[in-house]
Amino acid sequence: MDMHNRVEFGVLAAFAALAICANAAPPQKSLFVGITDNCTTTNHNCVEEYYATALERCGHVPVIIPKTKSEAALRRILDRLDAVIISGGRPSVRRESCAAPRLDDPSDPVGWRDRFDSAVLRYAADRRMPVLGVCRGAQVMNVFFGGTMQSAYDTYYGKNGKPSVNHNRYSYFGAATNPPTHTISIVPGTRLARLVGTNGLAVACHHGKAVACIAPGFRVAAVAADGLVEAIESEDLPMIGVQFHPETVVAEHPAEGFELERLEALFRRLADY
């Protein structure tokens, strides 16, 4: 190849490379993502490692949001974050009826955590921050915005003529060795559907509560075969709550059984909420 042809070939290759870059999806921005403390005692701060590992795998920087009684301090922490995950954990007594709310016991440390998570949600809503609520986090989200919860054992788990779907088949740990708990159906046209698609999605679940009345301004984004609500999302705010645990699967990266890319999208694409 003579010099003229080499130069022409190099120019064409450069234009081809530019065209490929122009058509490629833009890289996802690396975010500072806060994870709410999920200790059940008031004198400790902790977060399950799965959340941090899942965020790191998806290119983000995890930041633990400690329980604090100072809303001013909490606001200063949240001011420095791009998104928030309301983590899972042991549920407390929450509104069990649309007509008759039940209040938490102020001395209950889990109830104290409800108030902490509510403060985070209040601030995130004011700032329109992307929020992912996981399991208990989805429940707190629903109740904070005016919805209610119920016992999954009383209404689901094969009762009242419903299909038998065990939403608590395995422990929280062990997604790498346990098969999916069950498959959920994604509601077309939702934000969740834009993130993960509408095909059935295999998930890992560990919970005993279920949505009863969905919060005003929210909608159902996914359901299980027995009708239990597996995901909710705000119609206006960039908030999604999932009843399942994507963080365990994304962190442990099991060799089979789960569609990792789809579950990773919940973390990787937080900026798209």
How would you write 58-94 as a 3-class SS string?
CCCEEEEECCCCCHHHHHHHHHCCCEEEECCCCCCCC
Q: Pick the closest to residue 38 from 86, 92, 95, 104 (CA basis).
A: 86
Instruction: Give the SS3 label for residue 130.
Output: coil
Q: Which H or E run contains 140?
A: helix 136-144
- Annotated catalytic residue within 60, 233, 245, 264: 245
Establish whether 182 is a catalytic residue.
no
Establish whether 58 is a catalytic residue.
no
How would you write 185-247 as a 3-class SS string?
EECCCCHHHHHHCCCCEEECCCCCEEECCCCCCEEEEEECCCCCEEEEEECCCCEEEECCCHH
Radius of gyration over every alpha carbon of the chain, rounded to an integer in angstroms: 21
CB count within 10 Å of CB 96 equals 14
- Annotated catalytic residue within 48, 233, 247, 252: 247
Establish whether 247 is a catalytic residue.
yes
- Annotated catalytic residue within 135, 167, 182, 233: 135
The residues carrying an active-site annotation are: 135, 245, 247
